[in-house]
Structure formats: structure tokens, C-alpha cells
């Protein structure tokens, strides 16, 4: 069946009835997807973010496999080979005691990355649950909890860490990692609280309350999973912060340990920087590249998990 419409110029537009198959052929359908799949697709198409992820993965592999594959021990000394510049035998040279700098830098990656991951994980766990409880309950509880966060935030976390290092001079790396984790949760708590305040009025949360679902289940099954994007971004930002803090403490001599890390190697290298610059160049390079890689990955994750920035 054909119909027509006359135009001003005398021309005529004709229409005809189409069948169901032809109508379906004209439809433009978008493949079904999920929030997580869209986020991962956005992350994979971010070249800087993927470069950061590759560098982070490479650093982890170096920390895990390097000490096993290299022929030297980080404690091995050879006083006949002191202050060697980089060569075929010692790729990063040797220090004042003839120790191979390659194995010391690689072994230092284990300590620095371990401190970063553990301290950031502690901060995330404490900050997530604190922020969820504060945002979910609201009212007076939220007011008091946030004022407490402001009080703790007014004092730099570095002061807490230095104080603990002086109170427990032989406490080892574990105490420092613990206090770094317990003093770095305030930013995560604020971030998660803001997310929870916007999520707790959503329909699925109201439906869960009407269905007599417990508050604990609402927080763990609905609020925290739907805040996973900011949590992951906060984690990737916390890891380089913890690495830099540990390196700063080692560099300043506040925290001492026989096990080398990038900070202690940089502290030792600066004493002979003018004559033997390789002693500080390689630790500083590893610190800079690792922190840059984590920052690039964090920026890519923030864009991937935020639909407004894709």
C-alpha cells in the first residue's frame, strides 16, 4: 500500500508499508554489556593506563623473580670490587663494600612494594568500613565520626610514623607498616562516605530495607560493591604514597633495617653521589618509575569507573 504527500514545489513524497522483517533490519541495537565490562573496555583502550599497568606488573615480577635468578646475594661483600661502575658483571655497579647493586635494588623492590601493598590494604579496609558506617547511619553518629576524622587529619601522618619509630626503635618494619596503614585511612573514609550518602537513597537499598534485610548485609552486599570504583582508585593512589613514605623514612634515617629498600639505597648512594652517581641514580629511577606507573594506572582507573569521564 502506497501513500503520498505533496510538497510546495509540486514534488511528491511516497510512502509504502513495510513488513516486520524490514523494520527489524532498520533497528540499530547496541550489544548488551555491564558496568564492569564497560569499565574494563575503557581501561584497555587507555594507552597511558595500560603502560602504567605493564610497568607495575614488571616491577612485581622483578621483585618476585629477580632475587631467585640473580647469582649474588644482597648481603654478599667483595672488598676487592668496591665502587665499580656498571659493567657486564655488575649491571648497576657495586657499592662501598663491593656488594652488587643490581641484586640490592631488586631485593629492595620486594620491601618497597610489600610496604606499599600492605599499608595501602590496611588503609583501605579501615577507611571503607569507617566511611560506610558513617554514611549509612548518618545523623549524630556521622557528625561525630567525621569530626574525629578531621581531628586526625589535622596532624600530618608523617609525625605519627616518626613518633612510633622513636618509641619503638627496634620494632622493625611491621610496626611502621601498621602505623602507615592506620594513619592513611582518612581520605578513603571521606570518599566512601560520600558514595554511601548518594547510594543509600537508591531504589534497591530502599527495597532491601523494606524486605527486612539486615543493615550489615545492606552495607556489605549493596553499598560497598557499588562503591568499588572509588575504592580501587583510592587503593592505587595509596600504594605509591606508602612507597614514597617508606623511602622518605629510610632516606632520612628515621627507620633503620639491615634489609635494603629503595629508600635506604638512595640514602647510602647520596653520600658518594659526586664520585659515583650510579649508587643513587638506579634506586631513585626505580622509585620514580614505579610511582609514575601507579599514578598513570590510578588516573586510568578513575576514568574507567566514572561514566562521566569516559
The mean-pLDDT minimum among 57-61, 161-165, 257-261, 300-304 falls in 161-165
The DSSP call for residue 48 is H
Q: Where are the domains of the chain?
A: 93-309
Q: What is the pLDDT of residue 175?
A: 73
**CA distances (Å), 172 to each of 167, 169, 227, 233, 295, in order?**
12, 8, 35, 29, 28
Element (H, E) at 29: none
Closest CA to 50 of 60, 63, 40: 40
The mean-pLDDT minimum among 42-46, 180-184, 263-267, 278-282 falls in 180-184
Give the contacts of 173 (CB within 8 A, at least 6 positions apart): 111, 115, 255, 257, 259
The mean-pLDDT minimum among 93-107, 126-140, 152-166 falls in 152-166
* Pick among 3.40.50.1950, 3.40.50.2300, 3.10.450.200, 1.10.3720.10: CATH of 93-309: 1.10.3720.10
**Residue 285, all three cell numbers:** 629511577
Q: What is the pLDDT of residue 169?
A: 60
The DSSP call for residue 251 is H
How far is the C-alpha of 225 from the C-alpha of 174, rounded, in Å? 30
What is the band of 292 on the pLDDT scale with cuts at 50, 70, 90? very high
Mean pLDDT of 163-178: 69
Amino acid at each position: 500500500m502506497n501513500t503520498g504527500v505533496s510538497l510546495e514545489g509540486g514534488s511528491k513524497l511516497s510512502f509504502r508499508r513495510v513488513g516486520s522483517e524490514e523494520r527489524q533490519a532498520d533497528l540499530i541495537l547496541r550489544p548488551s554489556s555491564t558496568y564492569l565490562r564497560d569499565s574494563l573496555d575503557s581501561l584497555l583502550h587507555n594507552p597511558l593506563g595500560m603502560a602504567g599497568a605493564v610497568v607495575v606488573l614488571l616491577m612485581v615480577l622483578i621483585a618476585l623473580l629477580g632475587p631467585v635468578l640473580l647469582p649474588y646475594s644482597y648481603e654478599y661483600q667483595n672488598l676487592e670490587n668496591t665502587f665499580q661502575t656498571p659493567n657486564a658483571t655488575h649491571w648497576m655497579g657495586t657499592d662501598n663494600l663491593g656488594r652488587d647493586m643490581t641484586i640490592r635494588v631488586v631485593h629492595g623492590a620486594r620491601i618497597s612494594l610489600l610496604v606499599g601493598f600492605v599499608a595501602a590494604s590496611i588503609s583501605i579496609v579501615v577507611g571503607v568500613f569507617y566511611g560506610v558506617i558513617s554514611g549509612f547511619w548518618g545523623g549524630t553518629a556521622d557528625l561525630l565520626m567525621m569530626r574525629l576524622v578531621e581531628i586526625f587529619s589535622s596532624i600530618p601522618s608523617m609525625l605519627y610514623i616518626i613518633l612510633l619509630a622513636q618509641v619503638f626503635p627496634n620494632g622493625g618494619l611491621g610496626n611502621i607498616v601498621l602505623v602507615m596503614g592506620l594513619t592513611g585511612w582518612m581520605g578513603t573514609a571521606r570518599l566512601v562516605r560520600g558514595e554511601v550518602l548518594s547510594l543509600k537513597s537508591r531504589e534497591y537499598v530502599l527495597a532491601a530495607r523494606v524486605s527486612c534485610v539486615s543493615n550489615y548485609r545492606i552495607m556489605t552486599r549493596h553499598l560497598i560493591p557499588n562503591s568499588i570504583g572509588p575504592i580501587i582508585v583510592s587503593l592505587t593512589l595509596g600504594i605509591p604514597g606508602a612507597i614514597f613514605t617508606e623511602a622518605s623514612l629510610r632516606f632520612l634515617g628515621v627507620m633503620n633495617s639491615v634489609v635494603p629498600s629503595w629508600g635506604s639505597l638512595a640514602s647510602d648512594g647520596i653520600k658518594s653521589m659526586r664520585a659515583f652517581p650510579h649508587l643513587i641514580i638506579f634506586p631513585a629511577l626505580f622509585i620514580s618509575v614505579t610511582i609514575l606507573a601507579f599514578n598513570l594506572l590510578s588516573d586510568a582507573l578513575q576514568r574507567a569507573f566514572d561514566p562521566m569521564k569516559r
